[in-house]
Amino acid sequence: MRPPLSTLKTNDFFGGGALFSRHVPTRSSDKIFAAFAVSREVAISWAGTKATKGATLMPYRSVEIANEFLRQPGALGSLTQMQLQKLAYLANGWNWAINGDRLIEDPVEAWDFGPVYRELYDHTKFFGKQPLTRMVTAEDSQAARVFGWRSDERAQPYVAHLNDRERAVVANVWNRYGRLGGAQLSALTHQRGTPWFNAYSTTGKNAVIDQAAIRQHYDELAQRAQQTAA
């Protein structure tokens, strides 16, 4: 018998099993996630009583979540802007499935190479294809660069004040996907049937991807992982 969703833990979806191949995945993301083995190490329920900042879970800016990935062990100097985009998107999707809420408040758009947060792009595009060797700050924004806005306050890195459950999602996404290159992550997030694919193919380039579609997609992946674990 499958456990109720309220008893599932973060690592029920991330723990155990082999990491993705270094090659671009050829199976659907559904099958990949269904193949994950189960562990019980992180006691975080699906969408029961929510751990909170104040009274409710609060979504963050994409630039804040990007910096949370850059704070992960070995991330600085290894992650490009493209990887940050996809990791942020994956964390948002899995937070829907595990914590019952989005992680990022920014709209996410269906660009040619997968989901993109425009604000994060405007802050990181000047890094080009090179890995980021420092945290993202307000001085990196396109407006700040154009108008020369500089100050001690604006030079401070963005910070997401995550609760324990959100922090666990980010850490597990990093552990599961952090070694994948930008092209691999892009291929993973824009396969046929994904929210990116549906938005891009029906509405067109740069269409906003519906959060309800993202939630449904990751809920289904989580359900399939649960079925495999049963």
The total of structural domains in the chain comes to 1
Of 28-32, 169-173, 184-188, 225-229, which range is least confident? 28-32
Residue type, 175: N
Q: What is the pLDDT of residue 105?
A: 97
Report the percent of the chain where pLDDT is more than 70: 69
* CA dist., res. 126 & res. 137, Å (int): 13
91 versus 155: the higher-pLDDT residue is: 91
Cβ contacts of 151-157, under 8 Å, gap ≥ 24: 157/67
Domain ranges, residue 196: 5-229
**CA 89, 93, 95 angle in degrees (round to 5)?**
115
Q: 3-class DSSP state for residue 177? A: helix
The structure tokens 């990949």 sit at 32
Query: In b/e form, how buried is each residue of 214-227, taking b as 16+ CB within 10 angstroms?
Result: bbebbbebbbbbbe
